[in-house]
Amino acid sequence: MTDWDQHAADWDERAAVQTYAVSAFRSLTSLAEATDFNLAGCSAFDFGCGTGLLTEHLASVCAHIDAFDTSPAMRDVLSAKIDRHQWRHVRLLDQLPPAPQRYDLIVCSSVLSFVDHYPTMVDRLLRHLAVGGLFVQWDWELDPSDDQSHGFTREEVRRTLAEAGLASVAVGVAFEVTVDGSTMSPLIGSGRRPRPDS
Ligand SMILES: C[S@@+](CC[C@H](N)C(=O)[O-])C[C@H]1O[C@@H](n2cnc3c(N)ncnc32)[C@H](O)[C@@H]1O
């Protein structure tokens, strides 16, 4: 199991994670445009925020962001950024939000393959998604024929999001970028919380 605290201090110095965050945010804005989801002024929950590389991009468009990560050292890095930027609209949580809290957008960037049980965590997170809200996850694509491969298959993501009750579920390659000679092509999975009568 990864000790994420150990990675916090130099996480932001890695070119690959910086590029990943920029590319993930671009893929989010493309998805929002394509599906008529208004990112501007939305409320967001950044689950598994790490040092806040994606949070930083969200902070430029969202009206309010709650961010949570289980690693105190990762949270400390984001906390320093919040202070430095004087972001009053970004709140760092040290646990999952309380039950009544609902968001227009929930993002999970490269975290769901690390939780104990993926479908249970998706169910738990979706309690916080407003009706009409958008859920988005980015993860490595699992190659079942490769023992060293990590992540999810497209079918696993599609099934999990659909069984959790999301509508308009879509799964595909989020982006493809090459950093230091290695190419990243993670999956993006998304869905909307349907209106009760739809
Ligand atoms: C690969 S990093 C991604 C961080 C950030 N989302 C990014 O894109 O830079 C994975 C993060 O997931 C966090 N994490 C792992 N298990 C978690 C859990 N059960 N709940 C919340 N965060 C978790 C780790 O602490 C770590 O910061």
- Count of Cβ atoms closer than 10 Å to residue 181 Cβ: 5
Q: What are 193's two structure tokens?
A: 């919380």
Any atom of ligand 1 within 6 Å of the Cβ of 58: no
129: its two tokens: 């998604």
- Please report, for the chain, the start and end positions of each structural domain, with discontinuous segments joined by +: 4-192
Q: In terms of Cα–Cα distance, which of 103, 57, 49 is closest to 77?
A: 49
The residue contributing the CA closest to ligand 1 atom 1 is 110
Nearest alpha-carbon partner for 167 in 130, 195, 143: 195
Cβ of 125 less than 6 Å from ligand 1: no
The tens place of each residue's pLDDT in the chain, 198 residues long, gives 789 999 999 999 999 999 999 999 999 999 999 999 999 999 999 999 999 999 999 999 999 999 999 999 999 999 999 999 999 999 999 999 988 889 999 999 999 999 999 999 999 999 999 999 999 999 999 989 988 889 999 999 999 999 999 999 999 999 998 888 888 899 999 999 998 876
> From the centroid of its chain, how far is CA 120?
16
Asked if residue 69 has its Cβ within 6 Å of ligand 1, the reply is yes
Ligand 1 atom having least distance to the Cα of 109 = 6
The CATH number for 4-192, chosen from 3.40.1260.10, 3.40.50.150, 2.70.70.10, 3.40.190.10, is 3.40.50.150
Closest C-alpha to 174, from 59, 23, 51: 23
Q: Is 54 touching ligand 1 by the criterion CB < 6 Å?
A: yes
